[in-house]
Amino acid sequence: MAREAQWIDIGAEEELKKTPLQHITAKNAALAVSFKDGEFGAVSNACNHVGGPLGEGRIDDAGYIQCPWHGWKFHRCTGLGEPGFEEDRVPSFPLKLEKGRVLVDIANPTKRNKKPHAPHPLARDPVRAPGPLRLAGISTTVMDTGNPRFSGSDHLLDHALDAARKLGAETRLIKLNELKFRACEGYFSKSLRACTWPCSITQMDAKDEMDRVYEALVHWADAIIVATPIRWGAASSLYFKMVERLNCVQVDVSTKEKQLIGNKVAGFIVVGGQDNIQAVAGSMLSFFAELGFLFPKFPYIAHSRGWSHEDMENNVRIVRESKALAQGAAALAARCLDLAGKLVAAAEVPTLIERGGLKGRPVMADIMDRD
Ligand code: FES
């Protein structure tokens, strides 16, 4: 039964017409107010998915508001979900025009109804499938595939994967250079809830190929080896592009007490024309530790001839011909698989660790609670 109307004046008609879609608070109701094709609309500002601000989205040609966080759509006047998802609706509010003013009845919205959307395939629980140990190699070097060059980091990664196969492991090589994936667009900076697992971009853009990396890291592999060249003292640009997109895996650790990465091992290969191996390896170790990976003893191998050597032909020749580096890569794979095998055999699920000192875990709050 309809309640007594509570009409709230939300502004002048002429003024509100100037903005196609905006967030307006009317008393305690957060609204997404729109104007299109001569008609006003008012629906709840909170998206059904994880509460994205619909008033900050866009209106498509058919009159649906597209949520700015992950792209779900709701009609700007009726609040109904897009075709096929009509039952998934956000509240819409009665609206009228009076003496040049726009009024919304905040007491009589339609009911919100959430219809489950099919979860993204990556959203399944990460449960290890039976079978031999699995090692994923991630190549991060950038090159022109039409005119390929020798890559020292790729070369050693190949040795590592070869060795893993000889030890009976399954392997998968992912070359970031061959994937088409968007750079992180900073959903985390909009809101903690906007950076979701699976990644917002992955959920919205079926063509984005970062899902290959997520699938391998979160679901498939028992161990990974990430290989990078050093570019001006840092890992490659593609490495960082991948790392930024892995924020959605880390966010689950720090905000939801949930660990997507359990019982998995990481190792690294770092090859530099010049210096900075320790800084690059340190940064990689730090990031993958925050994701929840575990490390074998001596978790990385590296090679560089130092600041004074710009003769790249010799650098390349040394990496290509060095038996010691090839053996080092093979031994790294063996160490990673050895630890991964022990973890799989023990089926030891890491327990959640005490809060203080971990990224995103409040410390002052404890003191303030106590006071
Ligand atoms: S919060 Fe709106 S689509 Fe995710």
Q: What is the CATH number of the domain that holds 265?
A: 3.40.50.360
Q: Is the pLDDT of residue 309 over 90?
A: no
354 part of a folded domain: no
Q: Is 189 exposed, middle or buried (0-12, 13-18, 19+ CB in 10 A)?
A: exposed
Here the contacts of 31-34 (C-beta below 8 Å, separation 24 or greater) are 31/55, 31/93, 31/104, 32/57, 32/65, 32/76, 33/102, 33/104, 34/59, 34/65, 34/76, 34/77
Number of Cβ within 10 Å of residue 53's Cβ equals 18
Q: Which two tokens stand for residue 201?
A: 């971009």
267 forms beta bridges with 225
> Model confidence at 366, in pLDDT bands (50, 70, 90)?
low
Q: Is 190 exposed, middle or buried (0-12, 13-18, 19+ CB in 10 A)?
A: middle
* Domain extent for 171: 121-347
111 part of a folded domain: no
| Residue where a domain terminates, one of 105, 131, 157 | 105
CB 40 within 8 A of CB 97: yes
Do 88 and 227 lie in one domain? The reply is: no
- Quote the pLDDT of residue 251: 79
> Model confidence at 367, in pLDDT bands (50, 70, 90)?
low
Q: Domain count of the chain?
A: 2
Q: Which residue has the higher pLDDT, 218 or 367?
A: 218
Q: What is the pLDDT of residues 328-339, one digit of tens each?
A: 999 999 999 999
Q: Which residues contact 101 (CB under 8 A, 6 or more apart)?
A: 9, 11, 12, 13
Do 330 and 184 lie in one domain? The reply is: yes
> Model confidence at 85, in pLDDT bands (50, 70, 90)?
confident
53 lines ligand 1 (CB under 6 A): no
Do 87 and 156 lie in one domain? The reply is: no
Q: Which two tokens stand for residue 325?
A: 């580096």
211 part of a folded domain: yes
- Quote the pLDDT of residue 346: 87
Best mutation site among 69, 73, 188 for ligand 1 pocket (most ligand atoms within 8 Å of CB): 69
Do 32 and 145 lie in one domain? The reply is: no
298 part of a folded domain: yes
- Quote the pLDDT of residue 255: 63
Do 151 and 287 lie in one domain? The reply is: yes
> Model confidence at 38, in pLDDT bands (50, 70, 90)?
very high
- Quote the pLDDT of residue 253: 66
Do 151 and 175 lie in one domain? The reply is: yes
**Distance spanning both ends of the chain, measured CA to CA:** 48
Q: Which two tokens stand for residue 197?
A: 């697992």
Provide the residue count of the chain.
371
Q: Which residue has the higher pLDDT, 251 or 15?
A: 15
- Quote the pLDDT of residue 365: 55
Q: By C-alpha distance, which of 217, 236, 216 is closest to 228? A: 236
Q: Is 168 exposed, middle or buried (0-12, 13-18, 19+ CB in 10 A)?
A: exposed
Q: How far is CA 61 from CA 16, 58, 71, 117, 251, in A?
A: 20, 10, 15, 23, 34
Q: What is the pLDDT of residues 172-224, one digit of tens each?
A: 999 999 999 999 988 888 887 888 888 989 988 889 999 999 999 999 999 99
Do 86 and 212 lie in one domain? The reply is: no
231 forms beta bridges with 234
266 lines ligand 1 (CB under 6 A): no
Q: How far is CA 17 from CA 22, 219, 254, in A?
A: 10, 49, 42
Interval between CA 119 and ligand 1 midpoint (Å)? 13
Best mutation site among 58, 64, 66, 67 for ligand 1 pocket (most ligand atoms within 8 Å of CB): 67
Q: Which residues contact 361 (CB under 8 A, 6 or more apart)?
A: 254, 355
116 part of a folded domain: no
Q: By C-alpha distance, which of 358, 351, 345, 329 is closest to 159? A: 329
127 part of a folded domain: yes
Do 98 and 150 lie in one domain? The reply is: no
Residue type, 245: R
Q: How far is CA 224 from CA 80, 262, 265, 272, 295, in A?
A: 44, 13, 6, 20, 10
What does R_g of the chain's alpha carbons equal in angstroms? 26
Q: Is the pLDDT of residue 286 over 60?
A: yes
| Residue where a domain terminates, one of 105, 138, 160 | 105
Best mutation site among 23, 47, 199, 248 for ligand 1 pocket (most ligand atoms within 8 Å of CB): 47
Taking the CA of residue 71 as reference, the ligand 1 atom at the shortest distance is: 3
Taking the CA of residue 47 as reference, the ligand 1 atom at the shortest distance is: 2
Interval between CA 103 and ligand 1 midpoint (Å)? 27
Q: Name the average pLDDT for the chain.
A: 91
Do 52 and 160 lie in one domain? The reply is: no
* pTM (two decimals): 0.83
| Residue where a domain terminates, one of 105, 138, 167 | 105
367 part of a folded domain: no
Do 270 and 295 lie in one domain? The reply is: yes
Q: Is the pLDDT of residue 134 over 90?
A: yes
CATH number reported for the structural domain that contains residue 96 in this entry:
2.102.10.10
Do 15 and 66 lie in one domain? The reply is: yes
Q: How far apart are CA 363 and CA 371, in angstroms?
A: 13
- Quote the pLDDT of residue 287: 96
Do 67 and 199 lie in one domain? The reply is: no
Percent of the chain with pLDDT over 90: 72
Residue type, 329: A
Q: Kindly tell me the sign of the dihedral angle through the C-alpha atoms of 121, 126, 131, 134.
A: positive
357 part of a folded domain: no
